[in-house]
């Protein structure tokens, strides 16, 4: 998906972040090359690993609460998957008919099919005891070759599929709750940023800095600049600090401009007598501005016109 221009940013953004950047040529769709592939003759028991399943062996969940899917949103997700790969695998369970029924991720599955993807990355659940799944996921987390997004997804699975609180989960994996929370926050990042973290283009430290802003478009832009310029975490923090200072300066200027001289207030007071709706007046520090009059009927305008004509204005 193409990045949208960040909203509500000052004119100094370009000077701080540089010209528009394009690092898409550095991005390749994530894959699960070394994972086991499920086929009609090659089944797998419940596992915390991601496996790839032929799309024609996957079927929707008949109890899916969502009955309709927004076409435009699906197309946007499909575009992201086409460019970045399916970052968050779906979860399925083995059906009696030999197929795999979706537990969660039907929207991701539909979007993946729109791209023509034939093998779908998935977690497989069976009818085994809950404790077995918990043990499998915890064991998976202890591996050293997991990327940060895989760790975050494993934490999320423990919460959602094993009904654990963050406190309980932290105890299971031997981590502090704050560490668990920080990993889970990574899943709130835009798909592009998650992708770059997953494949090692940025670090967890970079991701934490990027999480310091709320606008997804700006998060993507900060990530792009980091990859393009090879910024360290401290350099990225400095850019973010300069952005924050620029926003504060702009806010200060706006507030200063918002203090209207007495004559402006008198104008609003006089004209406001003839209109029920609010009248707004904006003025810059240099004295330029605009006044907006909202009226609720033709009669209001006619009455105001009569006042002007009677006063020979």
Is 167 a residue of the active site?
no
Catalytic residue among 46, 59, 76, 106: 106
DSSP line for the chain: -PPPPPSS--TTHHHHH-S----GGG------TTSPBPBTTB---S-SS-EEEEGGGEE--TT-S-----HHHHHHHHHHHHHH--SS-EEEEE-TTSSEEEEE-HHHHHHHHHTT--EEEEEEE-SS-HHHHHHHHHHHHT-SS--HHHHHHHHHHHHHHS---HHHHHHHHT--HHHHHHHHHGGGS-HHHHHHHHTTSS-HHHHHHHTT---HHHHHHHHHHHHHHT--HHHHHHHHHHHHHHHHHHHHHHHHHTS--HHHHHHHHHHGGG-SS-EEEEE-TTS-EEEEE--S-HHHHHHHHHHHHHTT-
Catalytic residues, by residue number, are 106
């Amino acid at each position: 998906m193409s990045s949208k221009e960040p909203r509500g940013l000052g004119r100094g953004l370009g000077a701080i972040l540089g010209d528009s950047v394009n690092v898409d040529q550095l991005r390749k769709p994530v894959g699960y090359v070394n994972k086991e592939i499920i086929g009609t003759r090659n089944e797998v028991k419940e596992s915390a690993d991601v496996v790839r399943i032929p799309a024609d062996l996957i079927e929707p969940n008949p109890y899916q609460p969502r009955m309709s899917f927004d076409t435009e949103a699906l197309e946007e997700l499909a575009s992201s998957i086409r460019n970045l790969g399916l970052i968050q695998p779906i979860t399925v369970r083995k059906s009696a008919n030999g197929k795999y029924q979706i537990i969660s991720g039907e929207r991701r599955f539909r979007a993946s099919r729109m791209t023509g993807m034939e093998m779908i990355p998935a977690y497989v659940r069976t009818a085994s005891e809950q404790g077995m799944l918990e043990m499998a996921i915890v064991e998976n987390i202890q591996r050293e070759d997991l990327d940060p997004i895989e760790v975050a997804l494993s934490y999320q699975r423990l919460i959602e599929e094993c009904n654990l609180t963050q406190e309980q989960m932290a105890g299971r994996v031997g981590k502090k709750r704050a560490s668990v929370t920080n990993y889970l926050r990574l899943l709130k990042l835009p798909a592009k940023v998650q992708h770059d973290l997953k494949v090692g283009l940025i670090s967890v430290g970079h991701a934490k800095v990027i999480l310091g802003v709320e606008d997804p478009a700006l998060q993507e832009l900060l990530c792009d600049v980091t990859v393009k310029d090879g910024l360290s975490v401290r350099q990225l923090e400095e850019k973010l600090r300069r952005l924050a200072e620029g926003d504060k300066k702009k806010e200060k200027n706006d507030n200063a401009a918002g203090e209207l001289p007495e004559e402006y207030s008198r104008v609003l007071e006089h004209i406001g007598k003839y209109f029920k709706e609010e009248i707004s007046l904006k003025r810059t520090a240099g004295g330029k501005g605009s006044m907006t009059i909202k009226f609720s009927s033709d009669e209001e305008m006619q009455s105001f016109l009569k006042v002007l004509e009677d006063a020979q204005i």
